[in-house]
Amino acid sequence: MVATFLSNWSLASRQPIDKWSASTVVLCCFLLGPVAALLLTAFGDSGGLWTHLVDTVLGTYVVNTLALMGGVGVVAVLFGVSAAWVISRYDFTGRNILEWMLLLPAAIPAYIIAYCYTDFFEYAGPLQTALRTAFGWQTPRDYYFPEIRSLGGAMLVMASVLYPYIYMVTRIAFRLTPASLFEIALVHNKSQFWHVGLPLARPAIVAGLALVMMEVVSDFGTVEYFAVPTITLGIFNVWLGMNNLVAAAQISSVGFLFILGLLGLELYARSRQQYVSTSRTQNSPAALPTTPVGTLVCWLVCLVPLLFGFFIPLGVLLRFVLRGDLAADFLAIQPIVTNSVMVAIAAAIVIMLIASLIVLTAAFRAGPKLRKLALMSSTGYAFPGTILAIGVLIYAGYIDHGLRFLSGGMISSFLIASMGLLLLAYVVRFQAVGYGAMLSGVRRLPKNLMSASRVLGHGYVASLRQVILPLLKSSFLAGLMLVFVDIMKELPMTLLLRPFDFETLATYTYQFAKDEMLEQAALPALMIVLTGLIPVILMSAMLRRYR
């Protein structure tokens, strides 16, 4: 029965069941476990809470969430695409430095940036104090200053740390667009950006945007601090305030299905289009020279996102760190730094291997059903971290229970209360990031590349090794870097699922930041940023070499 099931999945590839499809199906189903556990929980009885929610707060939650998604989406696309365009199309002074600097905001956790921004922009912050001194204002009633703890503030803050998801993939897409296509636009006197670059980069932009949207929907730290009542805030009120996990799981599931719907819509919209380029065999476009004014514009396009996403928060953190005893403080947290880095590296490698296997099998070995399953397996990202962690717990409880039963009590706890639980959670959540990176790489490969290699007598494995994988190297590295940075700053799941006496920089930062003790939180937060910088710099150097 299992065999027929499996052969159905790989039917479209007209091949017998092979270990590739089989292992991918098993892996995907395994990864979907926590999501399934949450959906199952949602089928429970919520005790008529929905009537109350619909009557009171649900409308506000939905409107705020949609507004936040829209706002963050627009700003992040604006930042990410415009920066990617000038970096990949124009040759200007400082371009090489800005190219990798633009990735830096990815290393700053959203919950830290929210604290930093409040500190900077609020009434007692340096900006307003300076304005008051300059203009002689006395009280808050003397002038108008936009409230940073608001919907608009949350949009700006989140977009300025999330745009690198879009920038990273879009930049690669622009660079891999064949020069000949830009030349056609030139010949026809059409805009290279609007008529060639943007349409061809659409899959990449959407892949990045999907991650941004999922981050927005699942964020708790920023919206809580800024007091913006979104669906996620509502989920926690229902769960912890009304002791109703079922209703919380139901709201999360609705949000989850909403994201799924958006993804499906985009997939449908471009289902009849083909995005193929034989990039490696064609010339990539040469960068265009710029005038001094042009250089200035390019700088502006790159520096605005950097200012909001990196320099302001970094400045605030540094101001706090420099007040303390740097050497002593650093010695105290050094073991935590090592711990965080080791865990993040290990998990990132595991995630990228899994993502590569799933993407490659889905692309070259399997039919549309498995492709859909593969896409599904990366949707854990759309749940708020803590809620997904609950799903992981319920699921791991089942697994351990099963193992205990099968082993006749020999194994009492395998996942529970061990590093395995945390690793599982990381894979379930961040598989989406690795999947997105690998998929946007595979999408740009011509479909016939694999077929050509097979026709020429190579086996599947040899074709992967000699033809496909070398072309995906940059995507793999990009994914590895994003996942590493994501895990370094991951907070809610690590907090809940970690073993005893286990600290990462994120959990260590949080116990101070929770009580707004920014001075103590600043150094570990800064270390998250700095350790995030290392892979950013390393990998962009490698990307440049392999480009």
Partner 1 sequence: MRHNSRAGVSEKMRVTGIENGFRNRLRNSFANSPVILRWLMAGCVAVCLWLPVQAFAAGTINIYSHRQQILIQPFLDEFTKATGIQTKVVYASKGLAQRLQAEGAASPADVILTVDIARLAEYANLDLLASVESAVLTANIPAHLRASDNRWFGLSERARIVVTSRDRVPADAIQRIEDLADAEWQQRICTRPGSHVYNRALMASLIAAHGAEAAQSWAEKLVANLARKPQGNDRAQAKAIFQGICDVAIMNSYYYGNMKFNDDAEQRSWADAIRLVFTNQADRGNHINISGGGVAKHSRNKQQAVAFLEFLTGEVAQQLYGTVNYEYPVNPAVAPPAELASWGPFKRDKLPIERLAELAPQAQMIIDRVGW
Window contacting partner 1 (CB under 8 A); options: 79-87, 159-167, 291-299, 495-503:
495-503
Window contacting partner 1 (CB under 8 A); options: 264-272, 277-285, 327-335, 372-380:
277-285
In the range 297-326, which residues lie near partner 1 by CB under 8 A? Answer: none
Window contacting partner 1 (CB under 8 A); options: 73-81, 297-305, 371-379, 417-425:
417-425
Radius of gyration of the chain (CA): 24
Could you give the angle at which helices 19-42 and 326-364 cross, rounded to 10 degrees?
120
Here the tokens at position 311 are 């320099």
393: contact with partner 1 by CB under 8 A: yes
* Site size toward partner 1, by CB under 8 A: 87
Nearer to partner 1, 310 or 510 (CB): 510
DSSP 3-state assignment of 91?
Answer: strand
In the range 28-87, which residues lie near partner 1 by CB under 8 A? Answer: 52-53, 56-57, 60
139: contact with partner 1 by CB under 8 A: yes
For residue 372, give the amino acid letter.
K
461: contact with partner 1 by CB under 8 A: yes
In the range 333-362, which residues lie near partner 1 by CB under 8 A? Answer: 346, 349-350, 353-354, 356-357, 360
Report DSSP letters for 494-536, one per residue: HHHHPPTT---HHHHHHHHHTTT-HHHHHHHHHHHHHHHHHHH
For residue 514, give the amino acid letter.
K
Contacting partner 1 (CB under 8 A), which of 59, 241, 289, 402? 241
Contacting partner 1 (CB under 8 A), which of 470, 530, 538, 541? 470
Contacting partner 1 (CB under 8 A), which of 32, 204, 302, 464? 464
Q: How far is the CB of 387 from partner 1 (least distance, A)?
A: 9
Residue with tokens 């099931």: 5
Contacting partner 1 (CB under 8 A), which of 50, 137, 236, 311? 236
Residue with tokens 């017998």: 16
Q: How far is the CB of 306 from partner 1 (least distance, A)?
A: 26
Supply the DSSP symbol for 15: -
Interatomic CA distance for residues 154 and 158, integer angstroms: 6
Interatomic CA distance for residues 489 and 482, integer angstroms: 11
280: contact with partner 1 by CB under 8 A: yes
Contacting partner 1 (CB under 8 A), which of 71, 221, 313, 492? 492
454: contact with partner 1 by CB under 8 A: no
Contacting partner 1 (CB under 8 A), which of 204, 212, 216, 245? 245
Nearer to partner 1, 79 or 100 (CB): 100
Interatomic CA distance for residues 514 and 492, integer angstroms: 12
Q: Which residues pair with 289 in a beta bridge?
A: 91
Window contacting partner 1 (CB under 8 A); options: 82-90, 223-231, 306-314, 333-341:
223-231
Nearer to partner 1, 170 or 244 (CB): 244
Contacting partner 1 (CB under 8 A), which of 59, 140, 368, 402? 140
Q: Which residues pair with 91 in a beta bridge?
A: 289
Interatomic CA distance for residues 11 and 370, integer angstroms: 10
117: contact with partner 1 by CB under 8 A: no
Helices (H) and strands (E) in the chain, counts: 26, 2
331: contact with partner 1 by CB under 8 A: no
Window contacting partner 1 (CB under 8 A); options: 95-103, 208-216, 251-259, 393-401:
393-401
533: contact with partner 1 by CB under 8 A: no
Here the tokens at position 39 are 């959906």
Could you tell me which of 184, 180, 204 has the C-alpha nearest to residue 85? 204
15: contact with partner 1 by CB under 8 A: no
Nearer to partner 1, 304 or 495 (CB): 495
Window contacting partner 1 (CB under 8 A); options: 62-70, 163-171, 242-250, 261-269:
242-250
112: contact with partner 1 by CB under 8 A: no
DSSP 3-state assignment of 168?
Answer: helix
Window contacting partner 1 (CB under 8 A); options: 4-12, 101-109, 207-215, 489-497:
489-497
The 3-state DSSP composition of the chain as helix, strand, coil percent (nearest 5) reads: 80, 0, 20
For residue 301, give the amino acid letter.
V
DSSP 3-state assignment of 73?
Answer: helix
CB 248 within 8 A of CB 238: yes
Tell me how far CA of residue 394 lies from CA of 118, 291, 351, 426, 427, in angstroms. 37, 60, 21, 15, 16
